[in-house]
């Protein structure tokens, strides 16, 4: 029952969201960073993430155009439903947000390719958000099933992604710099699309090619903080010094270089430029927001209501990655939950609309390529919901934001965008 009165603002919101993710598409951001093929050597391309398939396509198109396709090879792992057709580089799909058997196979094959590099070769790692689940190489003594269970516990706990990855690094044979160790002494270049607050390389995809600042003790503290009691094998692994990650100054990182080719900040600015053309004064709250989705929504609603009271025409934008503490049995993700919380807090205030979407095209849900990317909110959202016998507060209590927005026609259904620079949120206030 999509409304017929919000067409103009709906189109504006959609345009802003599209600008945010299209700016970070690998075809746009990657080519200028691609290295030349080494003299008397080859480029071995490995990588993982939600944007890695498109990164592989952009890379092989570049080397085909320069007549060097016969000197590249490789394997990329991406999320189920995100694969793209390629000519040279193999693409395989794996589980996200919970790893599956393909996550283990892909990681093992990537490590083997890394170790195959000779002295004249260059290993090119194409990395984007989602690699932490898509590449799963359990540390010795840790079963894949134990890692799956722990991942589910962390996802439900509400722990921020940085803390989740701290734990996963210390249970892995590929994360926390260990992929770089497999490449050494050959040369390694990582080209990454950032999806983490602060763009810290050791947090993007759990930092498989860089030094890690976190420790085993930090990982144990994360589980204690979120009241997660690990299985015996997990507890043993997190107490075993052999599972510590690589630290700054480790000689096995000496031949490794790292470049970020796209980051959330640029995507927000791309959307902001368009908003300014529409006459909005842009307020940017940052690209690194964290917190409980519904609580952040309430705070942002207060800002919007204040701007409305002052008669200001503003666009309030933010990025980062919010979390949801799952207490109900509904469906949705942090962007949809933010949108539902925003709708409740705005309470139908005229002239205020909003959008929250994950730039990879999928927001939580069941992990399927057809899941929503997020949702939109309009002044008549609660009114239309009431007419459809949808109680917003009850849906929020059940963490069922998808169930709330789907009958209203206000879900963002764009499919995989082939990139990932985290969440994009905007609230438009018209006086």
Q: Considering the entire predicted model, what is its pTM?
A: 0.89
pLDDT in the model for residue 5: 67
SS3 405: helix
The yes-or-no answer to whether 7-22+265-429 and 26-137+172-211+246-262 have a common fold is: no
**Average of pLDDT values for 322-331?**
93
Q: Is the pLDDT of residue 371 over 80?
A: yes
pLDDT in the model for residue 418: 95
The DSSP 8-state label assigned to residue 252 in this structure reads: G
Number of residues written out for the chain: 431
Superfamily of domain 26-137+172-211+246-262: Glycerate kinase, MOFRL-like N-terminal domain (3.40.50.10180)
Q: How far apart are CA 157 and CA 164, in angstroms?
A: 10
**Average of pLDDT values for 271-275?**
98
Q: How far apart are CA 94 and CA 82, in angstroms?
A: 10
CB 232 within 8 A of CB 90: no
**Average of pLDDT values for 269-274?**
98
pLDDT in the model for residue 59: 98
- CATH number of this structure's domain 7-22+265-429, picked from the four choices 3.40.1480.10, 3.40.50.300, 3.40.640.10, 2.30.40.10: 3.40.1480.10
Instruction: Delimit the domains of the chain by residue range.
Output: 7-22+265-429, 26-137+172-211+246-262
Q: How far apart are CA 205 and CA 189, in angstroms?
A: 15
Give the CA distances from residue 328 to residues 54, 331, 341, 395, in Å, rounded to whole numbers and listed in that order. 35, 9, 15, 9
**Average of pLDDT values for 215-220?**
98
pLDDT in the model for residue 365: 66
Q: Is the pLDDT of residue 355 over 50?
A: yes
Mean pLDDT over the full length of the chain:
95
pLDDT band at 198 (very low <50, low <70, confident <90, very high): confident
**Average of pLDDT values for 88-113?**
96
pLDDT in the model for residue 7: 80
pLDDT band at 1 (very low <50, low <70, confident <90, very high): very low
Give the CA distances from residue 120 to residues 44, 89, 257, 360, 422, in Å, rounded to whole numbers and listed in that order. 11, 20, 16, 36, 36
Q: Residue 267: which of 18, 33, 21 has the closest Cα?
A: 21
């Amino acid at each position: 029952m999509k409304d017929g009165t919000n067409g103009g603002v709906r189109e504006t919101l959609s345009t802003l969201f599209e600008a945010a993710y299209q700016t970070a598409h690998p075809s746009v951001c990657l080519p200028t960073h691609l290295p030349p093929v080494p003299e008397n050597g080859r480029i071995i391309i490995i990588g993982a993430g939600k944007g890695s398939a498109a990164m592989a396509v952009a890379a092989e198109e570049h080397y085909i155009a320069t007549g060097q396709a016969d000197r590249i090879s490789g394997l990329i792992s991406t999320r189920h439903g995100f694969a793209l057709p390629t000519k040279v580089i193999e693409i395989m799909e794996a589980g996200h947000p919970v790893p599956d058997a393909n996550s283990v196979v892909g990681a093992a094959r990537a490590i083997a390719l890394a170790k195959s590099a000779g002295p004249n070769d260059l290993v090119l790692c194409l990395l984007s958000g989602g690699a932490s689940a898509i590449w799963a190489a359990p540390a010795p003594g840790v079963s894949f099933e134990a890692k799956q269970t722990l991942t589910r516990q962390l996802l439900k706990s509400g722990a921020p992604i940085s803390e989740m990855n701290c734990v996963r690094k210390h249970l892995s044979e590929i994360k926390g710099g260990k992929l770089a160790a497999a490449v050494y002494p050959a040369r390694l270049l990582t080209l990454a699309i950032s999806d983490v607050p602060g763009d810290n390389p050791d947090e993007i995809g759990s930092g498989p090619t860089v030094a890690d600042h976190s420790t085993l003790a930090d990982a144990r503290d994360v589980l204690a903080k979120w009241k997660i009691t690990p299985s015996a094998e997990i507890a043993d692994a997190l107490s075993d010094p052999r599972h510590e990650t690589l630290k700054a100054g480790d000689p096995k990182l000496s031949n490794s270089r790292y470049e970020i080719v796209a980051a959330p900040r640029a995507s927000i600015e791309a959307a902001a430029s368009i908003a300014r053309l529409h006459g909005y004064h842009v307020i940017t709250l940052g690209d690194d927001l964290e917190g409980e989705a519904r609580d952040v929504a309430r705070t942002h609603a207060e800002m919007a209501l204040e701007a409305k009271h002052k008669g200001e025409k503003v666009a309030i934008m933010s990025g980062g990655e919010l979390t949801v503490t799952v207490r109900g049995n509904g469906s949705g993700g942090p962007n949809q939950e933010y949108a539902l919380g925003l709708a409740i807090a705005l309470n139908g205030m005229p002239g205020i609309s909003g959008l929250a979407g994950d730039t990879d095209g999928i927001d939580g849900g069941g992990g399927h390529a057809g899941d929503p990317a997020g949702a939109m909110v309009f002044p008549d959202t609660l009114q239309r919901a009431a007419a459809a016998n949808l109680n917003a507060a009850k849906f929020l209590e059940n963490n069922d934001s998808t169930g709330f927005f789907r009958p209203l026609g206000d879900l963002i259904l764009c499919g995989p965008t082939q990139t990932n620079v985290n969440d994009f949120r905007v609230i438009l206030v018209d006086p």
